[in-house]
Structure 1
Amino acid sequence: MTGFLILAFLILVAMVVSVPLATRFGLGSVLGYLLAGMAIAPLLAALTVDVVALQVFAEFGVVMMLFIIGLEMEPRRLWDMRGKLLGLGGGQVVLTTAVITGIALLDARPWQTAVAIGMILALSSTAIIVQSLTEKKLMRTEGGEASFSVLLVQDVAVIPILALLPLLAMPDLYASSGGPVGAGAHHGIDLTASMPMWLAAIARIGAVAAVVVIGIYAIRPLFRFIAAARLRELFTGAALLVVIGIALLMSLVGLSPALGAFVAGVVLATSEYRHELESDIDPIKGLLLGLFFITVGAGIDFDLAAQIWQEVVFWAAVVIAAKFIVLAAVGWFYGLRKQALWLFCLSLPQAGEFAFVLIAFALANFVIDSALADLMLLVVALTMLVTPLLFILYDKVIAHSYCKGMEREPDAIDEENEIIIAGRGRVGGIVDRMLQTAGYTATVVDYDSSHLEILQKFGVRTYYGDATRPDLLHAAGIARAKLLVVALDEREQIDKLVKYAVQTFPELHVIARAKDRNHVYELWAYGCRDVIRETYDASIRIGRSAYEALGVDRQNAIAMAGAFEEMDRSSMLEIAEVYDMDIPPMENEALVAKIRELRARWDPVLREQMDEIVKRGQ
């Protein structure tokens, strides 16, 4: 028990220290986990931890991840992706296998070994790619969907690869080992292993069909039964039961558990329990995925890597370059261009987590020798370690350059009004319409060109440009304007514009949109005295509706909401005087003391006001 607690404590410390640091420096969570694993590798070795066994357990996080992705993808959308699945995915696997096999043959490897190397390294890392695409909100982009299509096909391709590897066994390796083919290959129970190929195929198709039938007819009644108990932990347990059961079924027939979980997720994508399933499984999935990445980092044999580092780096570069070229060719052929093609090519050139299993399987079936297996393990780990850096390259260079290239020149502003509205989205659009209906004309500036094209079709006049640029503001007539409404979406842009306007034009009335309560204090500190929280009025209205739903009549509910709003606004003015932007709110002792003082002072008064309003209405 003590050993387990030490191991759990060590891994969790590595997680909570490395991942926030990596995220803060823009490296992404995946690279943070990998670096954490590398950092604690010596300690795991000292504790004689079986990293491989830990990795097998952690791979269940990949299964959960595919289940959640399936929940977000309806069958119709999957059908719409069939061209990408067959063309992009199939083309990538076949061509990459052929290219890497050819490179291995040039390195004087036996053809059996060369084919095995090609098949193993053709696969990419589902865990790293999907995690990175989701984290960066790129999964629904054209390049993200293309990458995911390839990953799905690769998961299916594991099945024929496992079937083909034993057929590539070499007599020389068999004779030198002195053991039967397959000795030492531990892949759990496979009920189809001893079946004829046609019967095994029928069993696997039947297993997939069973997953679909269970998802449609059995899982919904199960969750309705569980929901009746009104115990959240039972629902979480039922969700895990479904995922583990499906993974077990897939494993028993020699299929990928991740693929089975994905199919089950797609079947349940239209279920009323979809969001509940996702929220229950997601935290467990995140922890297991983090553990998996840590085991990848910890599994690197640094002693061996130090001895053959040149060979490892060379082959890692060859694998990444070869896969990049194939991905570029396949992606271009299937219509990917520019930013989407770059994302596709930079996402998939690494080897994947299935390579660890396939390398052990190939070694046990006398297709590769132990020295080559050790080299391949290091190459796989290095390519996975490089992948987060490729995503950083995409973010900082590729995406930035394309966004910069797509920028258009600001519109020439040919009118001068007393009102300027910066941003015509959800907030600025309503403000503009309210002013127009009252007979006022505003100069509206927005930076979303696609949004402006839609507005133009409806006859709405809006100028394209960056409202934080002083030259554009002067062109809009800010020097003679009476009112500036800052309705931008980005917090940094709001701050930049408010500071410039307040400092440069002290007579100008500035109304600023604030993202939250702390943002109100910051804008107040900049000198803006008319700050509106974007969710405040909606929250007040919801609270008023709650009063009415609890039996308070409408007039009294309005009066009670007004009393709360008056107290809240008064207290915010006092808090703003002690707010310091250079000190985190929780560390600002004066701020904390003021909030406690105001609550002690205002809460009893407000309660008396509420009671008085209710008594008057009775």
Structure 2
Amino acid sequence: MQDPLFIFSTTIVVLIVKMLVLLAVGRFFKLKLHQNFLLAFGLSQIGEFAFVLVNYSTKLYLLEPVLNSQLMAITAITMCITPILLLVNEHWIEPRTRPKKPGLGEMDTPKKLQNVIIVGFGHFGSTVGRLLRVNGIGATVLDSDSERVNLLRKNGFKVYYGDASKPAILRSAGAATADLLILCLDNPEQNKFILEYAREHFPQLKIFVRAKNRLDAYDFINSGVDNIYRETLGTAVNMAVDVLKATGMRAYAAR
């Protein structure tokens, strides 16, 4: 191999320049920092198409055979280095740049247990939660989407990060002493699992459940659930009204 210094230095320059350009592109498109590094490291190599271009250029006598060999070597070396860069990113860079999820420690020790537990705080659950909040009804809110939890906390909602399908999380939210459990998850299977677990271990809970469609509603009916709400804005409001009445509010006031 001729001129190893040229090959080594060119390889380093190519990798650095490509990573800097990719970092700039990622920042322009507002990627998160850990995503930006993954993009830069993952695409830092010279693509396989370079082999075709270099060989074709040599056949057309646009490149000298010596330069052909050097460019081939540079391309191959960048391909070998990229997996190493990805490992470095995975083990050292990404853990330090990825946003930290809200800790489960807060979920384990809520400052105040509420009589109402809301599981899932997307568009459906948040509609119910806001109406309860406006009427002075406190609720312990669980959601497993860390980005949503962070956003809701910034907007003043007391939301805990946790997967309510895990018995320990549901228990730590106060299921043993609560009166009402409101299941508003997007995944109907998770709603069904939590429903069955709660009915077995926390029989005092009055359960309200969101049904994504008619088939889910029939499944819940066959399971003996009384409070089922098909997914629309109107039914989210109706669920909130029924929850308010279940907390003791008079029907006319809840309406």
- Checking the alignment, whether the CA contact within 8 Å between 1:502 and 1:508 is kept in structure 2 is yes
Once residues 104 and 496 of structure 1 are traced to their aligned partners in structure 2, the CA distance between those partners, rounded to angstroms, is 66
Q: CA offset at residue 396 of structure 1? A: 11
Aligned partner of 2:116 in structure 1 is 419
Aligned partner of 2:3 in structure 1 is 105
Once residues 88 and 227 of structure 2 are traced to their aligned partners in structure 1, the CA distance between those partners, rounded to angstroms, is 41
Give yes or no for the alignment of 1:349 onto 2:59.
Answer: no
Give yes or no for the alignment of 1:372 onto 2:65.
Answer: no
Task: Report the residue type matching 1:470 in the other structure.
Answer: P
Task: Report the residue type matching 2:155 in the other structure.
Answer: L
Q: CA offset at residue 466 of structure 1? A: 1.0
Give yes or no for the alignment of 1:503 onto 2:200.
Answer: yes
Q: Aligned with 1:410: secondary structure?
A: helix
Once residues 360 and 481 of structure 1 are traced to their aligned partners in structure 2, the CA distance between those partners, rounded to angstroms, is 73
- Checking the alignment, whether the CA contact within 8 Å between 1:487 and 1:512 is kept in structure 2 is yes
- Checking the alignment, whether the CA contact within 8 Å between 1:467 and 1:497 is kept in structure 2 is no
1:541-567 CA-partner distances (Å, limit 9, x unpaired):
xxxxxxxxxxxxxxxxxxxxxxxxxxx
- Checking the alignment, whether the CA contact within 8 Å between 2:33 and 2:98 is kept in structure 1 is no
- Give the unaligned 5+ runs of structure 2: 236-255
Give yes or no for the alignment of 1:360 onto 2:238.
Answer: no
1:96-129 CA-partner distances (Å, limit 9, x unpaired):
xxxxxxx97227xxx6xx59x948x948xx9xxx
Aligned partner of 2:245 in structure 1 is none
- Checking the alignment, whether the CA contact within 8 Å between 2:102 and 2:161 is kept in structure 1 is no
Residues 342/438 of structure 1: CA separation in 2 closer, same or farther (3 Å cut) = closer
Once residues 434 and 445 of structure 1 are traced to their aligned partners in structure 2, the CA distance between those partners, rounded to angstroms, is 17
Residues 399/372 of structure 1: CA separation in 2 closer, same or farther (3 Å cut) = same
Aligned partner of 1:410 in structure 2 is 106
Q: Aligned with 1:501: secondary structure?
A: helix
Once residues 390 and 529 of structure 1 are traced to their aligned partners in structure 2, the CA distance between those partners, rounded to angstroms, is 56
- Checking the alignment, whether the CA contact within 8 Å between 2:34 and 2:97 is kept in structure 1 is yes
Residues 240-251 of structure 1 aligned to structure 2 (within 5 Å): none
Among residues 114, 133, 139, which one is paired with 1:442 in the alignment?
Answer: 139
- Checking the alignment, whether the CA contact within 8 Å between 2:10 and 2:74 is kept in structure 1 is no
Aligned partner of 2:154 in structure 1 is 454
Task: Report the residue type matching 2:53 in the other structure.
Answer: V
Task: Report the residue type matching 2:115 in the other structure.
Answer: E
Task: Report the residue type matching 2:153 in the other structure.
Answer: E
- Checking the alignment, whether the CA contact within 8 Å between 1:502 and 1:527 is kept in structure 2 is no
Aligned partner of 1:596 in structure 2 is none
- Checking the alignment, whether the CA contact within 8 Å between 2:55 and 2:68 is kept in structure 1 is no
Aligned partner of 2:161 in structure 1 is 465
- Checking the alignment, whether the CA contact within 8 Å between 1:486 and 1:512 is kept in structure 2 is yes
1:207-258 CA-partner distances (Å, limit 9, x unpaired):
xxxxxxxxxxxxxxxxxxxxxxxxxxxxxxxxxxxxxxxxxxxxxxxxxxxx
Once residues 85 and 216 of structure 2 are traced to their aligned partners in structure 1, the CA distance between those partners, rounded to angstroms, is 34
More helix by share: 1
- Checking the alignment, whether the CA contact within 8 Å between 1:419 and 1:484 is kept in structure 2 is yes
1:171-220 CA-partner distances (Å, limit 9, x unpaired):
xxxxxxxxxxxxxxxxxxxxxxxxxxxxxxxxxxxxxxxxxxxxxxxxxx
More strand by share: 2
Q: CA offset at residue 372 of structure 1? A: 3.5
- Checking the alignment, whether the CA contact within 8 Å between 1:515 and 1:533 is kept in structure 2 is yes
Residues 508/391 of structure 1: CA separation in 2 closer, same or farther (3 Å cut) = farther
- Checking the alignment, whether the CA contact within 8 Å between 1:418 and 1:442 is kept in structure 2 is yes
Task: Report the residue type matching 2:4 in the other structure.
Answer: L
- Checking the alignment, whether the CA contact within 8 Å between 1:516 and 1:534 is kept in structure 2 is yes
Q: CA offset at residue 421 of structure 1? A: 1.1
Once residues 93 and 228 of structure 2 are traced to their aligned partners in structure 1, the CA distance between those partners, rounded to angstroms, is 37
Q: Aligned with 2:65: secondary structure?
A: coil
1:383-428 CA-partner distances (Å, limit 9, x unpaired):
49x87x9989978997688669544232532334332112333222
Q: CA offset at residue 484 of structure 1? A: 0.7
Task: Report the residue type matching 1:106 in the other structure.
Answer: P
Q: Aligned with 1:339: secondary structure?
A: helix
Residues 502/339 of structure 1: CA separation in 2 closer, same or farther (3 Å cut) = same
Once residues 367 and 348 of structure 1 are traced to their aligned partners in structure 2, the CA distance between those partners, rounded to angstroms, is 28
Q: CA offset at residue 493 of structure 1? A: 5.0
Once residues 498 and 403 of structure 1 are traced to their aligned partners in structure 2, the CA distance between those partners, rounded to angstroms, is 33
Q: Percent identity?
A: 24
Task: Report the residue type matching 1:146 in the other structure.
Answer: A
Once residues 432 and 406 of structure 1 are traced to their aligned partners in structure 2, the CA distance between those partners, rounded to angstroms, is 22
Once residues 351 and 471 of structure 1 are traced to their aligned partners in structure 2, the CA distance between those partners, rounded to angstroms, is 49
Q: CA offset at residue 429 of structure 1? A: 1.9
Residues 374/345 of structure 1: CA separation in 2 closer, same or farther (3 Å cut) = closer
Q: CA offset at residue 145 of structure 1? A: 6.4
Give yes or no for the alignment of 1:339 onto 2:217.
Answer: no
- Give the unaligned 5+ runs of structure 1: 1-102, 127-142, 151-335, 539-618
Aligned positions, number: 220
- Checking the alignment, whether the CA contact within 8 Å between 2:46 and 2:75 is kept in structure 1 is no
Once residues 390 and 513 of structure 1 are traced to their aligned partners in structure 2, the CA distance between those partners, rounded to angstroms, is 46
User: Could you state the TM-score of these two structures normalised by the residue count of structure 1?
Assistant: 0.28
Q: CA offset at residue 464 of structure 1? A: 2.1
Once residues 442 and 405 of structure 1 are traced to their aligned partners in structure 2, the CA distance between those partners, rounded to angstroms, is 25
Residues 397/122 of structure 1: CA separation in 2 closer, same or farther (3 Å cut) = closer
Once residues 122 and 192 of structure 2 are traced to their aligned partners in structure 1, the CA distance between those partners, rounded to angstroms, is 17
Q: CA offset at residue 453 of structure 1? A: 2.9
1:31-50 CA-partner distances (Å, limit 9, x unpaired):
xxxxxxxxxxxxxxxxxxxx
User: Could you state the TM-score of these two structures normalised by the residue count of structure 2?
Assistant: 0.57
Once residues 516 and 424 of structure 1 are traced to their aligned partners in structure 2, the CA distance between those partners, rounded to angstroms, is 18
- Checking the alignment, whether the CA contact within 8 Å between 1:146 and 1:344 is kept in structure 2 is no
- Checking the alignment, whether the CA contact within 8 Å between 1:446 and 1:452 is kept in structure 2 is no
Residues 478/403 of structure 1: CA separation in 2 closer, same or farther (3 Å cut) = farther
- Checking the alignment, whether the CA contact within 8 Å between 2:2 and 2:70 is kept in structure 1 is no
Once residues 362 and 527 of structure 1 are traced to their aligned partners in structure 2, the CA distance between those partners, rounded to angstroms, is 76
Task: Report the residue type matching 2:38 in the other structure.
Answer: L
Task: Report the residue type matching 1:452 in the other structure.
Answer: L
Once residues 368 and 422 of structure 1 are traced to their aligned partners in structure 2, the CA distance between those partners, rounded to angstroms, is 67
